[in-house]
């Protein structure tokens, strides 16, 4: 099914160039068609489903690596190229030894990754797609093609439209080409893990802050808590660098994590469940300042206890974010009750005086999403104004933009 979430589109187009996407969107504008852009579909089902879908623009035919200059550590690629293709073009087997420093599925397209703003554990060090994006080509809802940024890593000419389109989920226009800043692949990697018993939650919290604030330059600081106050917590820290350097830093990191009571181990392969969510049916993101990690974990546990829902919690805690995944069997009304309780508890846990994070439902069954819309996102009125400027008729992925329309 090439459409999305049960809606059958009237048309599915597979353009092979930006010019073709432009022509398609001009036609769609003239006919008033609702447009849903898609890549490999790995993130398509995340978030609210489209309320209308007349034309699906499938970008997988635009899969060229347009330019890769190894000495510049920059690549320009079409939106339909997959992450796996990039790895083949300039990864370890290619002689370049470079990478797009995002932990995302190999089958995902770069356009999809940018549009959804997806990053994995290494978000801690390298950031999200918006941080690695240096240039973008988009086609607007009215078919006009626009570029911003360029192919140099340092550039402040004009508004950074790339930031706006990264994470916009296809609601502002269609991304057709992007330029990324690349990083050298490290010669060596190691994971230092620390297990904390159910009664040692405070120790785990201390360990996350110690790892994240250490000058040992971790690439990721993850927390994994399979759920329920009776389960142990695991901290995972990824270190990248030279062979001897990583060995020494792993030893030092292990000491750091053992100090608050962690049972540590060092491995050259990723621990189980690394960067993988246990379920993608209902996922809630909690963001926070790291100094509030303890109260946030307490809030999750309390919201679970209040409602009888037991979420699995994992994510880049060192970067101030965690994902709570509900069991796929959770009834809609239980999920809504949990979300409501979590929002209240987290709001109480985060200090006021300015935004310190919050709770965002990333994906859930439509009824749950509809019941959990958040009208308190900072800058929502300006977001609506941006949406109205770029897509005045609200035809781009209608229903997905959280601000309505």
Partner 1 sequence: MATIQALVPRMRDICGAGNVIIDPLELRTYECDGLTSHRCVPALVVLPGSAAEVAEVVALCARAGVPFVARGSGTGLSGGALPHESGVLIVMSRMRAIVEIDPVSRRAVVEPGVTNLAVSKAAAPFGLFYAPDPSSQVVCSVGGNVAENSGGAHCLKNGFTVHHVTGLEIVTPSGELTWLGDGTGVTTGYDLLGAFTGSEGTLGIVTKIVVKLMPVPEVVHLLLVAYSSTAEGGRAVSDIIAAGVLPAAIEMMDALAIEAAEEAVHCNYPAGAGAVLLVELDGPAAEVEAELSTVRALCEAAGATEIQAADDPAERAGIWAGRKSAFAAVGRISPAYIVQDGVVPRTSLGAVLARIAELSAEAGIRVANVFHAGDGNLHPLVLYDDSVPGQAEAAEKVSGAILDACLEHGGSITGEHGVGVDKSRYMPRMFGADDLDTMQLVRCAFDPAGLCNPGKIFPTPRLCGEVPGHRRAPHPAVVAGQAEIFLHGYRTGLGSRGPPGARRRLPVAHRWYCRRRGAGS
**202 touches partner 1 by CB under 8 A:** no
**30 touches partner 1 by CB under 8 A:** no
Residue 286's beta-bridge partner residues?
322, 359
The residue assigned the tokens 């993130």 is 43
- Return the ∠ at Cα 164 (arms to 159 and 165), rounded to 5°: 120
- Cβ-based nearer residue to partner 1, 1 or 156: 156
Residues 39-78 that bind partner 1 (CB under 8 A): 69-74
Least Å distance, CB 139 to partner 1, is 10
Q: Are the C-beta atoms of 396 and 49 separated by less than 8 Å? A: no
**Residue range at the interface with partner 1 (CB under 8 A); choices 51-59, 230-238, 269-277, 352-360:** 352-360
Least Å distance, CB 96 to partner 1, is 9
**217 touches partner 1 by CB under 8 A:** yes
**405 touches partner 1 by CB under 8 A:** no
CA distance 42 to 105: 8
- Cβ-based nearer residue to partner 1, 212 or 270: 212
Q: Which of 390, 395, 399, 400 binds partner 1 (CB under 8 A)?
A: 390
Size of residue set near partner 1 by CB under 8 A: 91
Q: Which of 6, 308, 328, 378 binds partner 1 (CB under 8 A)?
A: 378
**185 touches partner 1 by CB under 8 A:** yes
Closest by CA to 380, choosing from 364, 360, 350, 351, is: 360
**26 touches partner 1 by CB under 8 A:** no
Determine the 3-state secondary structure of 231 from DSSP.
Answer: coil
Least Å distance, CB 35 to partner 1, is 17
Residues 82-121 that bind partner 1 (CB under 8 A): 97, 117
Closest by CA to 218, choosing from 198, 237, 201, is: 237
Residues 121-140 that bind partner 1 (CB under 8 A): 127-128, 130-131, 138, 140
Q: Are the C-beta atoms of 196 and 262 separated by less than 8 Å? A: yes
**Residue range at the interface with partner 1 (CB under 8 A); choices 101-109, 229-237, 243-251, 262-270:** 243-251
Least Å distance, CB 263 to partner 1, is 23
**343 touches partner 1 by CB under 8 A:** no
Q: Are the C-beta atoms of 309 and 369 separated by less than 8 Å? A: no
- Cβ-based nearer residue to partner 1, 58 or 178: 178
**164 touches partner 1 by CB under 8 A:** yes
- Cβ-based nearer residue to partner 1, 12 or 380: 380
- DSSP assignments along 190-235, one per residue: EEEEEEE-GGGHHHHHHHHHHHHTSTT--SEEEEEE-SSTTS-EEE
Q: How long, in residues, is the chain?
A: 405
The residue assigned the tokens 């350097």 is 245
Mark residue 265 as left, alpha or beta (left: phi above 0; alpha: psi -120 to 50; beta: remaining). Answer: beta
Closest by CA to 309, choosing from 320, 318, 301, is: 301
**24 touches partner 1 by CB under 8 A:** no
**160 touches partner 1 by CB under 8 A:** yes
Which residues are within 8 A (CB) of 21 and not within 5 positions of it... i.e. 6 or more apart?
A: 15, 57, 59, 62, 139, 174, 176
Least Å distance, CB 228 to partner 1, is 25
Least Å distance, CB 301 to partner 1, is 20
**277 touches partner 1 by CB under 8 A:** no
Q: Which of 88, 152, 199, 272 binds partner 1 (CB under 8 A)?
A: 152
**358 touches partner 1 by CB under 8 A:** yes
- Cβ-based nearer residue to partner 1, 9 or 165: 165
**What's phi and psi for 297, nearest 5 deg?**
-65, -40
Q: Which of 94, 147, 279, 340 binds partner 1 (CB under 8 A)?
A: 147
**Residue range at the interface with partner 1 (CB under 8 A); choices 53-61, 152-160, 230-238, 257-265:** 152-160
Closest by CA to 35, choosing from 402, 405, 394, is: 394
Which residues are within 8 A (CB) of 351 and not within 5 positions of it... i.e. 6 or more apart?
A: 289, 292
Which residues are within 8 A (CB) of 154 and not within 5 positions of it... i.e. 6 or more apart?
A: none
**19 touches partner 1 by CB under 8 A:** no
Rounded to 10 deg, the angle between the 243-258 and 201-212 helix axes is 140
CB neighbours of residue 102 within 10 Å: 23
CA distance 24 to 72: 34
**183 touches partner 1 by CB under 8 A:** yes
């Amino acid at each position: 099914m090439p459409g999305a979430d049960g809606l059958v589109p009237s048309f599915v187009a597979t353009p092979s160039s930006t010019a073709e996407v432009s022509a398609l969107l001009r036609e769609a504008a003239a006919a008033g068609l609702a447009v849903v852009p898609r890549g490999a579909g790995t993130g398509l089902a995340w978030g609210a489903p489209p309320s209308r879908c007349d034309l699906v623009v499938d970008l997988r035919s635009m899969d060229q690596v347009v330019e890769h200059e190894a000495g510049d550590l920059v690549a320009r690629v079409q939106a339909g190229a997959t992450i796996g293709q990039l790895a083949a073009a300039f990864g370890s087997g290619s002689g370049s030894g470079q990478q797009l420093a995002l932990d995302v599925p190999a089958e995902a397209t770069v356009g999809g990754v940018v549009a959804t703003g997806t990053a994995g554990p290494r978000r801690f060090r390298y950031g999200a797609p918006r941080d690695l994006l240096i240039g973008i080509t988009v086609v607007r809802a009215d078919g006009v093609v626009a570029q911003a940024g360029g192919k140099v890593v340092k550039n402040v000419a004009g508004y950074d439209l790339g930031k706006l389109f990264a994470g916009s989920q296809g609601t502002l226009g269609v991304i057709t080409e992007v330029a990324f800043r690349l990083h050298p692949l490290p010669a060596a990697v190691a994971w230092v893990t620390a297990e904390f018993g159910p009664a040692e939650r405070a120790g785990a919290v201390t360990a996350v802050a110690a790892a994240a604030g250490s000058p040992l330059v971790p690439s990721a600081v993850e927390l994994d808590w399979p759920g329920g106050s009776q389960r142990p917590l695991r901290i995972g820290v990824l270190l990248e660098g030279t062979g001897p350097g990583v060995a020494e830093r792993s030893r030092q990191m292990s000491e750091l994590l053992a100090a608050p009571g962690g049972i540590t181990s060092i491995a050259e392969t990723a621990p189980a469940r690394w960067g993988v969510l246990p379920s993608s049916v209902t996922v809630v993101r909690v963001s926070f300042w790291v100094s509030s990690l303890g109260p946030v974990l307490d809030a999750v546990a309390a919201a679970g206890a209040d409602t009888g829902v037991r979420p699995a919690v994992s994510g880049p805690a060192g970067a101030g974010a965690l994902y709570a995944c509900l069991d796929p069997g959770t009834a809609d009304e239980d999920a809504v009750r949990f979300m409501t309780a979590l929002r209240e508890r987290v709001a109480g846990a985060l200090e006021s005086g300015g935004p310190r994070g919050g709770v965002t439902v990333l994906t859930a069954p439509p009824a749950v999403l509809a019941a959990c819309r958040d009208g308190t996102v900072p800058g929502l009125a300006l977001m609506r104004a941006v949406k109205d400027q770029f897509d005045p008729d609200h035809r781009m992925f209608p229903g997905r933009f959280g601000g309505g329309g």
